[in-house]
Amino acid sequence: MCPDTLADPSALDGERPEPLKPTREQAVDAVRLLLQWAGDDPGREGLLGTPERVVRAFEEHFAGYHVDPVALLQRTFEETDGYDEMVMLKDIRFESHCEHHMEPIIGRVHIAYLPCNRVIGISKLARLVDVFAKRLTIQEKMTAQIANTLDEVLQPKGVAVVIDAAHQCMTTRGVHKPGVSMQTSRMLGVFRTDPTTRREFLAMLNLPGLGVPGNV
């Protein structure tokens, strides 16, 4: 049964209140302190502008904290002439940072859904990825957040999300294993309950090994 209305955005707002944000000057001073702690001189010529540049980079890396993913998905389209087959967006490149070491996570996201009366602009799917990628995260959580938000707001018959990414926290430090990638998936609705639908999606990605329901 297809629902008649979109989910109430307020029903999805379960995040904790935002803590008091430090000033920009405090953030710049914190970077300067870290440079000094690392053993360098933040007053030397090559590092004079580095604290400010790092703060500007942080504004870009973590812009997702300032975007509401629910509001992003509110505009949908119902003039589909009865289209009810799979909608898929493949190879959405993203850059994120792990919340454990703040090292880059770089990879691609594949999203599919089976519409129920309404569809959403494909650019919104790419922007939804960016909302959660531009935050400190882990890949498992990011996978679930993308799928859960799309499912709760759009309310389709099913949602599938697969992420394939490399984690610099294990390729450039720690165990130092370059060339390793991590795959996670989240299957909801018919993608979870209907093996045929799930196989069709995974076959389009050439990923038959992820065909087991219940993957994160």
> Which residues belong to the active site?
98-101, 139, 167, 169
What is the amino acid identity at position 175? V
Q: How many CB atoms lie within 10 A of CB 191?
A: 29
Unique residue bearing structure tokens 């007053």: 43
**What angle, 0 to 180 degrees and rounded to 10, lies between the N-to-C axes of helices 122-133 and 139-154?**
140
Residue 91 has which token pair?
């190879």
d(CA 69, CA 5): 18
User: Torsion angle, CA of 199/202/208/214, rounded to 10 degrees?
Assistant: -80
